[in-house]
């Protein structure tokens, strides 16, 4: 290796070691009693003893549960269990130590805690944060019909299947019955990662194509461009128009993990009114919409 190449290699290593001085690791931990806790570690050491991570988790759970519990009695978690372990989105079990090198900084990673009990939850409180982008609240439609809401959801599926290549079918199925409406598509699917999160389906204003919505309006047949957005108000508003409850289930083609998002009309409307009042008062504290979710193996 010549001197110039060696110098570039050393410089590259220095940038990797010291270029990102502020590293924040964020975790959403799903607990066996159906609750969830968020943890953030700022500039941690490369690894942490598993017991220390669990202790931090237990402390945060105690604080969060006292302040924001729904009031329902939850079963106790066996924090001292010898069968305690964490499981990440790739089915890796974590017992000995928490190795932060296995996780990307500045992203939120979903972990599931197991305490050895057979009573394990499949739905978790406040798993997803659906707080809308601020400007969407200023442009909610005055009238939103059944047909428009249904078209909005189908529009989401059209955008999803558009991403499929020639090897994968572009299929959308819509079934409208008296008491339930189901929409199925063969798009790439969603998970819990920041870039492909199921939250983007349920979060108004989070669409990657929102800024290019105008390109699809007034277009020519067959209208199947990647930037539909002709309705653009997303899953929550459409679901609230069509019914009182909605269940969104999705998985990616390369994973057996199914992620679910639960929407409740009354809860979202209550959250919306609360957020609007806080914004009028100039307050942003606790201004969010959170909803239940789940993660299971198919």
Residue 39 CA to residue 179 CA, distance in Å, equals: 39
Residue whose token pair is 């539909």: 228
DSSP SS3 for 288:
coil
CATH of domain 134-297: 3.30.565
Please, what is the angle between helix 234-242 and helix 146-162, to 10°?
140
Residue 201 CA to residue 159 CA, distance in Å, equals: 11
**Picking from 20-34, 40-54, 66-80, 266-280, which range would have the lowest pLDDT averaged per residue?**
266-280
Residue 240 CA to residue 235 CA, distance in Å, equals: 9
Q: Looking at residue 186, what is its pLDDT?
A: 92
Contact 193, 295 (CB under 8 A): no
10 Å CB burial of residue 91 (0-12, 13-18, 19+) is exposed
What pLDDT, in 10s, does the model give residues 58-90? 999 998 876 555 556 778 899 999 999 999 988
Mean pLDDT for the stretch of residues 237-257: 86
18-121: CATH topology is Ubiquitin-like (UB roll) (3.10.20)
Residue 255 CA to residue 191 CA, distance in Å, equals: 9
Q: Looking at residue 138, what is its pLDDT?
A: 47
Contact 55, 138 (CB under 8 A): no
Residue spans of the domains in the chain: they are 18-121, 134-297
Residue 254 has pLDDT above 50, yes or no: yes
Mean pLDDT for the stretch of residues 31-41: 92
What pLDDT, in 10s, does the model give residues 5-33? 444 444 444 434 444 568 999 999 999 98
Highest mean pLDDT among 131-145, 146-160, 267-281: 146-160
Mean pLDDT for the stretch of residues 219-245: 62
Categorize the per-residue pLDDT at 270 as very low, low, confident or very high, splitting at 50, 70 and 90: low
Highest mean pLDDT among 108-122, 175-189, 196-210, 213-227: 175-189
Categorize the per-residue pLDDT at 233 as very low, low, confident or very high, splitting at 50, 70 and 90: low
DSSP, res 178:
S
């Amino acid at each position: 290796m010549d001197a110039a190449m060696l110098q570039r290699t050393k410089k590259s290593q220095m940038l990797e070691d010291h270029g990102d001085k502020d590293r924040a690791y964020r975790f959403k931990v799903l607990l066996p009693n159906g609750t969830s806790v968020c943890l953030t570690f700022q500039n941690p050491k490369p690894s942490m003893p598993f017991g220390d991570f669990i202790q931090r988790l237990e402390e945060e759970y105690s604080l969060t549960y006292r302040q924001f519990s729904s009031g329902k009695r939850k079963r106790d978690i066996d924090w001292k269990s010898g069968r305690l372990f964490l499981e990440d989105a790739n089915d890796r079990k974590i017992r000995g130590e928490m190795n932060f090198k296995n996780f990307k900084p500045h992203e939120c990673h979903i972990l599931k805690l197991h305490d050895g009990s057979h009573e394990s939850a499949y739905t978790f409180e406040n798993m997803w944060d659906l707080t809308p982008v601020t400007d969407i609240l200023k442009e909610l439609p005055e009238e939103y019909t059944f047909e428009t809401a249904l078209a909005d959801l189908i529009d989401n599926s059209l955008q999803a299947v558009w991403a499929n290549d020639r090897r994968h079918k572009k299929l959308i199925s819509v079934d409208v019955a008296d008491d339930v409406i189901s929409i199925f598509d063969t798009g790439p699917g969603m998970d819990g990662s920041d870039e492909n999160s199921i939250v983007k389906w349920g979060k108004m204003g989070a669409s990657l194509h929102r800024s290019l919505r105008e390109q699809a309006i007034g277009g020519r047949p067959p209208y199947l461009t990647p930037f539909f957005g002709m309705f653009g108000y997303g899953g929550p508003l459409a679901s609230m128009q069509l019914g009182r409850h909605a269940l969104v289930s999705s998985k990616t083609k390369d994973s057996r993990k199914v992620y679910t998002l639960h929407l409740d009309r009354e809860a979202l409307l209550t959250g919306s009114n609360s957020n609007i009042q806080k914004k009028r008062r100039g307050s942003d504290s606790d201004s969010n919409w959170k909803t239940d979710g789940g993660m299971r193996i198919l």
